[in-house]
Structure 1
Amino acid sequence: MDARRPTATELGAAFAAGTTDPVAETRAALVRIEDGNDAVNAILFTDTDGALAAAEESAARWERGAPLSPVDGVPTTIKDILITRGWPTLRGSRLIDADQPWEEDAPTVARLREAGCVLLGKNTTPEFAWKGVTDSLRHGATGNPWGAGLTAGGSSGGAAAAVGLGMGAWSVGTDGGGSVRIPASFTGTVALKPTFGQVPLYPASPYGTLAHAGPMTRTVRDAALMMDLLARPDPRDWSALAPPVRSYLDGLDAGVAGLRVAVSPRLGFDVRNDPEVDRAFREAVDVLADAGAHVEEADPGLEDPVDAFHTLWFTGAAKVVQPYGPDALDRIDPGLADAIRTFGLERTASDYLDAMAVRMEHGRRMGLFHQEYDVLLTPTMPMPAFPLGRQAPQGWPEPWTSWTPYTYPFNMTQQPALSVPCGLTADRRPIGLQVVGPRHADALVLRVGEAYQARTGWHDAVPTLLDPETEE
C-alpha cells in the first residue's frame, strides 16, 4: 500500500505551488482506499465518479487562480452519522432504508463542500454511534492501521482508520463520549472535540448536548485549519455559538512558555493505566515542561459521573430507536438493545434532571479548576488498542464507559479536548495524550498540542499496514 500520506496543509501548499493537483491527489486517495479498505473496513461507500468530477472542478479553479479556500481540492471523508447530500446516511443500522431522498448536507459537510474539499465517501461507525469500538450488524468491524486485527476504537473508528492510512487527508467525526478521541488514541492520529456549539450540528443529536462534531486529522495544524472551516454558525442549529474572532491558526505557534498546566494521570478516579501508557504520558509531560510550561500534578476533584452519563446517553439512544417500531430493539446491536433496556427505558424525567444536576456541578468544578490552570493533561485512554471483535479490553467490564474514563467526563462539561499521539508500546500500538481546556479555549488547546507536536515525531510514525518491514 502507498505509504505517502500528505496532510491537508501540505496539499493546499502544493496545489498553490502547482507541484501537484486535486485530480492526482484524489486518484491517489482512491487507490489507497482500493488497496487498503479490505484490510480495515474503514469506508462503507465511495463515490469515485463524484469525487473525480469535483477534483476536476477544483483543479480548474486553481488553474484560474481562484480556489474557494486554501484547502480547495483536499480529499476528505465523512463519518456516516452526518447527513450528506446525494449519499445515504445509514448510521451503521439495518433499520435505515438507503433508498430514500438524501437532499441535505449537515453543517460540517456543507462547510467542507463550500471550501471545495473533494468528498470521497462515508466512514464506518457502530450503530447510531453508540459505543467505543466500531462494528455494526450492517457493516461489520473496523480494524486499525497499526494492525488489522486490532480495533480502531469508536465511534469514529472508520474516520480515524481512513486518516491514518491516507484514505483522504482528513475527516470529520462526532463525539458524544469520546468518539473522536478514542479512535485517535488507538490509531495514532489527532482529533479535537470542540467546545459544545462551536461546530454546529444538524439534525440535532438525540444524545443532546453531549454530542459534538470535530476534525480528525494527522496533525494539530490540520485540525486548526479544519476548525476555521467548521466553526461557523448554521441557522439550523439554535445552539451554535458565534464564530471565533480570529483564525485558529493565529497564535498556534506561540508555544507553552508560562502556561499553567495541570497533570492528572488518573483524573482522580480508580483507574489502572497500562504501564506503557503511564510511561508515555510522563514523557509527554516532560516535553511540555522542557518547553517552558509550569507543570503541576493536580486532580480537579471530580467524582466519576458515569451513572449520570448513562442516563443522558441511553435515554437518547432509546429515543433514536423509538421511531422504528415496537420490534426495533430486536433488530439492532444486542449490546445497544440491552443498554437501552437497562439505562434508557426505565429512567424518569426526575432521573434525567438529577443527571443534569451532576453535569452542572462537574461544569462548575472544572470552571473553577481552570481559574488555577490553563489546561489539564490526562492520558486519552488507559490502554492501547485491543483485539478486533472484543467489546472491551481483557480484564475490563464490557460497558464501553468502563474503559474510557478520561473522555466522557468532558462531554458532560462541554469543554474542548484534544487527543494527540504521544508514543508507541513495545509492540507498536499508539498511545494518546489528552489536552483539556476551559470552555471556549479551543485555540489554546490546539496551541498546546502544536507545541507538543513541534517537539516530537509520533504523528509521523508510519502505521504497520503501510510499513513493508512490519506489514502483517
Structure 2
Amino acid sequence: MMSVRDRLEEVFERLEKRASDERVYPKVYWAAARAAADAADERRRAGVTLGPLDGALVSVKDLLDVKGEPTLAGSRIFRDRVPAGEDADVVRRLRQAGAVIIGKTNMVEFAFSGIGLNPHFGTPGNAIDPKRIPGGSSSGAGVAVAEGTSDISIGSDTGGSVRIPAAFNGVVGFKPTAHRISLKGAFPLSYSLDSLGPLGRSVADCIAADAVMAGYGALVSTPYPLSGLRVGVPRGRLFSQTEALVADAFEASLRRLSALGARVSDCDLEDLLEQMREATSRASIASVEAAAIHSDWIETRAAEIDPRVQKWIALRLATTAADYIRMMRKRDELTRAMDRRLAPFDVVALPTIPIVAPLMAPLIADEKLYNKTDTLVLRNTTPINQFDLTAISLPIPDVPLPVGLMLVARHDQDRRLFEIALSVESALPH
C-alpha cells in the first residue's frame, strides 16, 4: 500500500508543475501537510488509526478559518483582515481525525454565484473539460476531487454551492440540514441558509467526512433497501428547460431504480414552490443577509469587488426590515408545509442541474447570458436550502459530460438519506 506521504508528494508534484497558473488552490500547506502525512504513516506502522479519514488528503474552501492567516472568501479586499486566531470547528475536527489538510480551494467571491468564476484568483477549469465552468461557489472543491488532488474537499452550500460543482465535475456532493454542522469559523453568505458539506468520489467518502464534521467520530451506515423505496419526482417547473442529455440520463436512472423495486411516482410541489417564489420575489434570502454582512465595504470598495457579485449584494441594502421579517416568517410557514408534503416519500429525485456545464468564455463576455445561466444553474438546488431540507448529488454514469442525480430528504433525515444514497449509487451502472 502506498504511504500517505508518497500520495501527497504525487499531488504536490502536480501542483508544482502548474504553479505559474494555479487556479484550484490559492493556498497550499506544503510543510504542514507533509508533517500530517508523516504522522499518519507513523500511526499506520504502529497499528493505530484515528478513523476512516486518517491519512485522507482533504482540502477546504477558502472561507474556512485556518489559524494564523486571514480568511479571504475569494476576495482580495480581505487580504488585510486580522488573521484567524484558531481553526474553524470543522478544520479542527478534520485534523483531530487524522486528515491531511493540503490547502484551501478557490471559490466565487463571497460565495455569491453558482457559475464558479473568480477574476481575482483565476477560475479553475472544469475537471472534465477546462473550457467549461467548474460550478460554484465551491469551484475549486469540485475540481480538486474530480482531478484527484484531494480525496475529499469541504465546501459550503447556501443555494447549491456543494452540489453544483459536484454535478458539473462528476463527483458526489452532500448538503446537510442547515446548522447540523458547526459554522463557527466559516465566513458567512447567509446566516439562515448556509451549511457546510463534503465533496468526494463516493457516498462513503461523504459519510466519513460528514461524521467527523458533525462531531460524531465514525458513523456506520448500511444501504437502505431499494425494494419498496418511495421515490417522489417533482415534475413541473424544476424540469423545464432541461437539456436532452440530462433528461435522458435522469429518466434512465429512474427506470433502473424501478426495475430494482423502487416505487416511483409524481410528487406535486408546485404550489409550495410558487409561494416561496412569491415570498422571495423582491429579494432572495441570501442576498438580503449578504447585504447586511457586507454593508461596511460593498459600496465603499466596489471597484475592488467582482461586479457580478457587488451589484446584486449592494442592490439589497435598500431592503427594509419589515420586508425581511415578512419573508422569513413566510419561509418558516412554508418549511413546515414542505415537511408535511414530503412525508409520504422516502426521498425525492430530480436532476441536480438542468444543463451540463456550459462553456466559460461566452458567460464571461455576456453579462445577460451569465445572469440567465446562473439563475438556471441554481434553480433546482436553491429550494432545498429555502425549505431547510437535506440533499446529495450523485454522478450518473455513462454520459459524455457529467450529469448529477439529486436525492432530497426531509429536515434532519441526513443519515437516512446517506443510506438511500448508498443503495442508489450501487444500483447505477458503473
Structure 1 residue aligned with 2:233: 263
**Is the 8 Å Cα contact of residues 52 and 208 (structure 2) preserved in structure 1?**
no
**Residue 241 (structure 2) aligned to one of 253, 269, 272:** 272
C-alpha spacing 1:83/1:20, structure 2 compared with 1 (3 Å):
same
1:362 shift after superposition: 2.7
**Residue 328 (structure 1) aligned to one of 273, 298, 301:** 301
**Is the 8 Å Cα contact of residues 135 and 141 (structure 1) preserved in structure 2?**
yes
Query: Is 1:284 equivalent to 2:253 in the alignment?
Result: yes
Listed as ranges, the gaps of 5+ residues in structure 1 are: 1-18, 233-242, 459-472
1:20 shift after superposition: 2.3
Aligned with 2:393: secondary structure? strand
Trace 1:451-470 onto structure 2 (pairs within 5 A). 451-457=423-429
1:249 shift after superposition: 2.8
RMSD: 2.4
Structure 2 residue aligned with 1:229: 212
Structure 2 residue aligned with 1:109: 91
**Residue 418 (structure 1) aligned to one of 354, 369, 392:** 392
**Is the 8 Å Cα contact of residues 116 and 136 (structure 2) preserved in structure 1?**
yes
In structure 2, give the amino acid aligned to 1:327: T
Trace 1:359-370 onto structure 2 (pairs within 5 A). 359-370=331-342
Trace 1:153-172 onto structure 2 (pairs within 5 A). 153-172=135-154
Structure 1 residue aligned with 2:421: 449
Structure 2 residue aligned with 1:213: 196
1:80 shift after superposition: 0.3
C-alpha spacing 1:380/1:39, structure 2 compared with 1 (3 Å):
farther
Structure 2 residue aligned with 1:386: 358
Task: For residues 184-231 of structure 1, give each alpha carbon's deviation from its aligned partner in whole angstroms, at most 9, with x where no partner exists.
Answer: 110001011001122111146241120000111010111111111111
1:279 shift after superposition: 0.5
Rounded Cα–Cα distance in structure 1 between residues aligned with 2:103 and 2:25: 7
C-alpha spacing 1:34/1:358, structure 2 compared with 1 (3 Å):
farther
- Tell me the TM-score normalized by structure 2: 0.91
Rounded Cα–Cα distance in structure 2 between residues aligned with 1:303 and 1:176: 17
Task: For residues 116-154 of structure 1, give each alpha carbon's deviation from its aligned partner in whole angstroms, at most 9, with x where no partner exists.
Answer: 111111100011111112222320212111111111100
**Residue 142 (structure 1) aligned to one of 124, 127, 147:** 124
Aligned with 2:405: secondary structure? strand
Task: For residues 3-37 of structure 1, give each alpha carbon's deviation from its aligned partner in whole angstroms, at most 9, with x where no partner exists.
Answer: xxxxxxxxxxxxxxxx2221112112223333567
C-alpha spacing 1:346/1:399, structure 2 compared with 1 (3 Å):
farther
Rounded Cα–Cα distance in structure 2 between residues aligned with 1:99 and 1:190: 33
Structure 2 residue aligned with 1:27: 9
Query: Is 1:68 equivalent to 2:64 in the alignment?
Result: no
Rounded Cα–Cα distance in structure 2 between residues aligned with 1:364 and 1:185: 28
Aligned with 2:115: secondary structure? coil
Rounded Cα–Cα distance in structure 1 between residues aligned with 2:225 and 2:14: 35
1:423 shift after superposition: 4.0
Aligned-pair identity in percent equals: 30
Aligned with 2:241: secondary structure? coil
In structure 1, give the amino acid aligned to 2:305: I
C-alpha spacing 1:273/1:421, structure 2 compared with 1 (3 Å):
same
Structure 2 residue aligned with 1:131: 113
Query: Is 1:249 equivalent to 2:224 in the alignment?
Result: no
**Is the 8 Å Cα contact of residues 269 and 303 (structure 1) preserved in structure 2?**
no
Rounded Cα–Cα distance in structure 2 between residues aligned with 1:224 and 1:291: 24
**Is the 8 Å Cα contact of residues 32 and 166 (structure 1) preserved in structure 2?**
no
**Residue 400 (structure 1) aligned to one of 361, 374, 381:** 374
**Is the 8 Å Cα contact of residues 108 and 230 (structure 1) preserved in structure 2?**
yes
1:247 shift after superposition: 5.6
Structure 1 residue aligned with 2:100: 118
Rounded Cα–Cα distance in structure 2 between residues aligned with 1:150 and 1:38: 21
Aligned with 1:84: secondary structure? coil
Query: Is 1:43 equivalent to 2:25 in the alignment?
Result: yes
Rounded Cα–Cα distance in structure 2 between residues aligned with 1:109 and 1:215: 12
**Is the 8 Å Cα contact of residues 156 and 174 (structure 1) preserved in structure 2?**
yes
**Is the 8 Å Cα contact of residues 168 and 356 (structure 2) preserved in structure 1?**
yes
Task: For residues 330-354 of structure 1, give each alpha carbon's deviation from its aligned partner in whole angstroms, at most 9, with x where no partner exists.
Answer: 3211122211233x11111111112
In structure 1, give the amino acid aligned to 2:413: A
Aligned with 1:59: secondary structure? helix
Normalized per residue, the structure richer in helix is 2
**Is the 8 Å Cα contact of residues 158 and 189 (structure 2) preserved in structure 1?**
no
Aligned with 2:389: secondary structure? coil
C-alpha spacing 1:386/1:393, structure 2 compared with 1 (3 Å):
farther
Listed as ranges, the gaps of 5+ residues in structure 2 are: none
Structure 1 residue aligned with 2:328: 356
